[in-house]
């Protein structure tokens, strides 16, 4: 047993898991507000990271300025996507809506590859010191930042949905669309805004991952990894998404640990979450916190 490695991997798992949690939260936000299963969630990360990277490398902007412009851009991007592509499909069967998001996903993935190439490009360095000391472990500063950002986003979400007027309106729409509408909540705005916020927050996660690992099309794989997380947590639970994300992150790294130490199968890191996904779907399809569908006739 290599305890040092295990600890390192667990920490990694926690950090990556927190990011999965953030992305899963954004996924659930869209699902709850507009009942759309968004297969293009990963592309929000991808587009956001590339935009930020492009701003930083093309114009000598300070990081915070580029970051803020990225956020504004992604907000607009999400809104536009909802209004142009998703709005015409309201009321269409689930299959059509899912397929449109799949179409969006490969469209933007290919567009980004076309515009920026297939190779990973590193962000310009942002922090002065590369590593900090946490409880005797050498941890890269970007990892600490990543964890901090994730927690900050989660707290922000909690505040937004508990106290802000718009957040309450969104929860009302998620709870009962007709009742919310009859009480004067604009469902159209809520739909569009949920996409905008989701795109924006995903882009934050995208930028964070980009700073840590460099920007490449691998970022869009986050959008796929979200599915084990949300199914584990329950499709319509924001808390479940966060917990599911962290569990999936830890699980990946534990699988990787066992793989490298004992099994030597290789590639278990990538596939383990999907095995778990199948098992959960078979025995427990509504996850930890999801609401059970009850059929009424």
Partner 1 sequence: MTSVAYDRPSGDFKTSYAADTTIFPTRTSAAFCVAGIALVAAAPLYLDKYGLSILIQIGYLGIAALGLNILVGFTGQISIGHAVFFGFGAFASAYLNNNFGVPVFFAIPLAGLATTVVGLVFGIPAARLKGLYLAIATLAAQFILQDFFARASWFTGGVAGTPAESLTIFGYAFNTDARYLYVVLAYVVIMYLLATNLMRTRDGRALVAVRDHYLSAEMMGVNLTKYRTMSFGISSFYAGVGGALYAHYLGFVSVEGFTILFSIQFLAMIIIGGLGSIMGTLMGTAFMVLLPEAMTALAGQLAGSPIDRALGLNEGIAFLREMAIGAVIILFLIFEPDGLAHRWRQIRAYFKLYPFSY
Residues at the interface with partner 1 (CB under 8 A): 37, 85, 88-89, 92-96, 98-100, 102-111, 113-114, 224, 227-228, 231, 235, 265-267, 270-271, 274-275, 277-278, 281-282, 285, 295, 297
Q: 246 and 17 in contact (C-beta within 8 Å)?
A: yes
For 49, how many CA atoms within 13 A lie in the half-sphere containing its CB? 33
- Least separation in angstroms between residue 80's CB and partner 1 is 14
Q: Which is nearer to partner 1, 165 or 296 (CB)?
A: 296
Find the length of the chain: 297
- Least separation in angstroms between residue 206's CB and partner 1 is 19
Euclidean distance between CA atoms 260 and 235, whole angstroms:
32
Q: 251 and 241 in contact (C-beta within 8 Å)?
A: no
- Least separation in angstroms between residue 226's CB and partner 1 is 10
Q: 181 and 188 in contact (C-beta within 8 Å)?
A: no
Q: Which is nearer to partner 1, 133 or 295 (CB)?
A: 295
- Least separation in angstroms between residue 142's CB and partner 1 is 28
- Please report, for residues 62, 226, 260, the alpha-carbon distance to residue 273 in angstroms, rounded to integers and kept in the order given: 38, 10, 17
Q: Which is nearer to partner 1, 54 or 161 (CB)?
A: 54
- Least separation in angstroms between residue 10's CB and partner 1 is 24
Q: Which is nearer to partner 1, 43 or 185 (CB)?
A: 43
- Least separation in angstroms between residue 207's CB and partner 1 is 23
**Residue burial 38-76, b: 16+ Cβ < 10 Å; e: rest:** bbbbbbbbbbbbbbbbbbbeeeeeebeebbeebbebbbe
Euclidean distance between CA atoms 152 and 173, whole angstroms:
25
Sign of the four-CA dihedral 173, 154, 293, 83:
positive
Q: Which is nearer to partner 1, 150 or 194 (CB)?
A: 194
Q: For residue 138, give the H/E element and its range.
A: strand 137-140
Q: Which is nearer to partner 1, 52 or 100 (CB)?
A: 100
Please choose, from the candidates 215, 202, 194, 212, the residue with its C-alpha nearest in 3D space to the C-alpha of residue 153: 202
- Least separation in angstroms between residue 173's CB and partner 1 is 19
Indicate the angle between helix axes 238-258 and 221-233, nearest 10 degrees.
Answer: 110
Euclidean distance between CA atoms 226 and 47, whole angstroms:
17
Q: Which is nearer to partner 1, 96 or 261 (CB)?
A: 96
């Amino acid at each position: 047993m290599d305890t040092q490695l295990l600890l390192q991997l667990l920490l990694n798992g926690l950090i990556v898991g927190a990011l999965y949690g953030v992305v899963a939260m954004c996924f659930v936000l869209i699902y709850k507000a507009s009942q759309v299963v968004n297969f293009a969630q990963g592309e929000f990360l991808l587009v956001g990271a590339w935009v930020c990277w492009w701003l930083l490398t093309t114009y000598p902007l300070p990081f915070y300025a580029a970051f803020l412009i990225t956020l504004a851009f992604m907000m607009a991007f999400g809104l536009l996507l909802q209004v142009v592509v998703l709005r015409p499909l309201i009321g269409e069967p689930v299959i059509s809506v899912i397929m449109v998001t799949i179409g969006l996903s490969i469209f933007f993935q290919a567009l980004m590859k076309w515009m920026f190439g297939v190779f990973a490009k590193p962000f310009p360095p942002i922090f002065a010191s590369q590593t900090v000391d946490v409880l005797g472990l050498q941890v890269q500063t970007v990892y600490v930042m990543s964890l901090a950002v994730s927690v900050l986003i989660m707290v922000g979400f909690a505040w937004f949905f508990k106290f802000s007027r718009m957040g309450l309106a969104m929860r009302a729409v998620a709870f009962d669309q007709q009742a919310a509408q009859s009480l004067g909540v604009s469902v159209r705005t809520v739909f569009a805004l949920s996409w905008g916020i989701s795109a924006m927050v995903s882009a934050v996660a995208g930028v964070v991952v980009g700073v840590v690992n460099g920007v490449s099309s691998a970022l869009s794989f986050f959008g796929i990894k979200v599915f084990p997380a949300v199914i584990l947590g329950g499709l319509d639970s924001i808390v479940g998404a966060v917990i599911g994300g962290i569990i999936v992150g830890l699980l990946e790294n534990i699988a990787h640990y066992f793989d490298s130490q004992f099994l030597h199968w290789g590639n278990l890191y990538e596939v383990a979450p999907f095995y778990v996904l199948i098992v959960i779907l078979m025995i427990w399809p509504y996850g930890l916190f999801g609401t059970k569908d009850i059929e009424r006739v």
